[in-house]
Amino acid sequence: MSALLDAAAALDAVALPLEHAPLPAGQALAGSPTTGSAVLAELGGTEVGVWEHTVGTSTDVEVDEVFVVLTGSGTVEFDSGAAPLTLAPGVVGRLAAGSHTTWTVTETLRKVYVAG
């Protein structure tokens, strides 16, 4: 997937259209959530993008990531027993590579992420 932003460019990450797809078998735990994403830039091996998850509950195995929630709400729980993250616009979160998570999205969630 090619990056959407070149140097000295800007876009509206909230309004950016994303193509959604169903989650892989076994990842959806409740509802019929879908996800969509777009890579905005690749900087020295680090990816910056927009990701969205519709209402529902799913599991994932994370990569190293820092993100900022743009819209929506939900929680991320960790199989490790770490304190859950409460997600809402403006929240900045950190995910560690290999973390097993459960995402419960109560209002379609959109975030900008930086992952390496």
Residue 106 has pLDDT above 70, yes or no: yes
pLDDT 10s digits, 16-60:
999 999 998 899 999 999 999 999 999 999 999 999 999 999 999
* CB-count burial class (<10 Å; 0-12, 13-18, 19+) for 40: buried
Distance CA 5, CA 15 (A): 15
Predicted pLDDT of residue 2: 64
The domain ranges of the chain are 28-115
Query: Tell me: domain 28-115, CATH 2.30.30.100, correct?
Result: no
With a pLDDT cut of 90, the percent of the chain lying above it is 86
Residue 68 has pLDDT above 80, yes or no: yes
Of 38, 37, 29, the C-alpha closest to 104 is 29
